[in-house]
Amino acid sequence: MLNFRVSEMEIKKSHILLFVLSLALYSACVKKKTYSTEPEIAFKSFYPFPGDSADFTITFSDGDGDIGKVQEDSTKNLFMTYYYKDTITQKFVGLYNSFLNDTVRFTYTIRKPKDQYAGKPISGEISVKINEYRHDPKFKNLKYVVYIVDNANHKSNVITTPELIAP
């Protein structure tokens, strides 16, 4: 009859070794996220405030991290076209500005974050405060068509928000 005795210390060492090997195997299998060098955006939220301002948030990803302008650069890189639901036709219409001979478009400058992400895949959220998000308070149903442009002039996908209901 064979008698094997394993000490508690040997059991603890084997558990630690098994844990370290499992961690190493997991780390080897985890792939880093990769994104297209063209930015990708998606609608996240629209929160109107009393009065006529709102917070508008989109999510984004970019494979080379070249989103956002430095403080000295005022180049516009977020573009939002406004549409309201006509109460007679029940269709969404872009607000036309005859002076500009174009539809009304909100433009913003997205700033670079303080951290060093240039050249690296990034993702996150962009929030802007829209002042006067509609041209007339009687219009309660609206939509926005949105896109961004990165520093290499890559245009993102163009998104249309769901129908937004203002108070």
d(CA 124, CA 118): 14
Higher pLDDT, 18 or 151: 151
Higher pLDDT, 156 or 51: 156
Stronger pLDDT, 14 or 129, i.e. the higher one: 129
Look over the chain and give the mean of its residue pLDDT values, rounded to a whole number: 83
Lowest mean pLDDT among 4-18, 45-59, 81-95: 4-18
Q: Is the pLDDT of residue 114 over 90?
A: no
**From 20-29, 67-76, 97-106, 124-133, the region with the lowest mean pLDDT:** 20-29
Report residue 28's pLDDT band, with 50, 70 and 90 as the boundaries.
low
Q: Assess whether pLDDT exceeds 70 at residue 18.
A: no
The stretch 13-35 carries a mean pLDDT of 60
Q: Name the residue with higher pLDDT: 22 or 113.
A: 113
Between CA 100 and CA 103 the distance in angstroms is: 8
All domains of the chain, ordered by start, with CATH? Answer: 40-165 (2.60.40)
When pLDDT is cut at 50, 70 and 90, the band that residue 167 belongs to is confident
pLDDT tens digits along 62-113: 988 888 888 898 999 999 999 999 989 999 989 888 887 788 788 999 988 7
